[in-house]
Structure 1
Amino acid sequence: MDIRKRINARKVVLAYIYEHCFFSAMQKNLIVQPSKVAEAGDQISSPDTPAENSFFDAEFLKQVASKKQQQEHIDEYVQAQVTEYLINQSPEEDAGYLMKYGFDQWQLEEIDTDYVFKVTSAISRYEEELIEKVNQNTQTFQYEQMDIMDQVCLLQGYLEVKVMDTPPAVVINEMVELAKRYSDDGAPKLVNGLLNAILID
């Protein structure tokens, strides 16, 4: 194994998985969290508060209702686009595009492409399994509440062990280094503890 190629490949996969986790979180938030504009509109133009008794005039309430409707349409459109993206993800095409245009400082010969394609293609097979294992090993939070970059380090490490047969200790060290570089101060300890619990203990 060429170590330099593998390091470059890990960076490509990190970017790919970050995009995947970001859009997954975005999809869930769009479903769960109501629009702030819609929320405000509901409070102001509540049927329990007749317009004539409201502090706000009728024209203002009409504008709020219009904004609320526009926001709902925007939310629906974004939701549809995000869902379509997640459904139509093609790891080989997307990772290939990312290597060509997102990391164009390297030639393909400088990247462990076997690693890139194997790890990105395994997301759909192993992601839910990882989430379940993380949730079994945490008490005060769940996987979905974690910072996206921490999710990325956990998922990438788990996938690498599953499909590349890299020794768990090596993978954990690499993911901790990525967490140190790209996440907050508490991330390395969190990533180290969870991956040890999941992959070694």
Structure 2
Amino acid sequence: MADLDSFQDESDEEMEAMTPAEVLEKMEEAWLNEKFAPELLDSKTELVECMLEQLKEMEENIKRAKKGDFKVSIHRLEIDRIRYILSSYLRRRLEKIEKFTVHTLEAEKDRSSDDNALMSPAEFKFASEYAQNMESHFKKIVLRHLPDNLQAMDPTETAPRPNLDSYVFLRVNEKTDGVLVEEETLEAGEEIIDLEVADQHLMRYKPVASLVTSGAVSLI
């Protein structure tokens, strides 16, 4: 990935320079997290835009390369790999937005101005229009044929939600002590574990959701 320039990522109001290898690593991590997480994760718009811009530059470099240069084939394979990661990442996000449209829009609305955006502007526009079209379609096809007392519908109560209790595989990036895996019940006491760096676990997503967002763990 020598063709990738450094990428500037804003975190905690500080600009941290990232090497080309780190940019790709972050993109792959975001892709796998999005692929395996049951809910829509924070948007990585800046990272995606950076990768798209660098892909464009890599393609321009290939056009200027000498014919028959063996490096061209290697770079084309790398470009194809990056394209696959980006398209798979964006496609997975759209699948979640379509499946959990109402829930996702509500979650975005409830987030504070200090939180990272859950959706990019384009994704938010798509989700809003998709929700409106689905509601209009449902009213036209179903609700208008029902008695008046049954035509009222609250989408927030009937819309599907992601199953945060589904199980995921994860790898620990940062040591984290005192993770509450299971709350206390009548049958058993609470279960608390310490996560050690490089450990791998299979556990419910909900207890580690915030750790995925912070980068303390990665889904695999």
Q: TM-score of the superposition, structure 1-length normalised?
A: 0.29
Q: TM-score of the superposition, structure 2-length normalised?
A: 0.27
Q: Which has the higher strand share?
A: 2
Q: Which has the higher helix share?
A: 1
Q: Which has the higher contact order (CA 8 A, sep 6+)?
A: 1
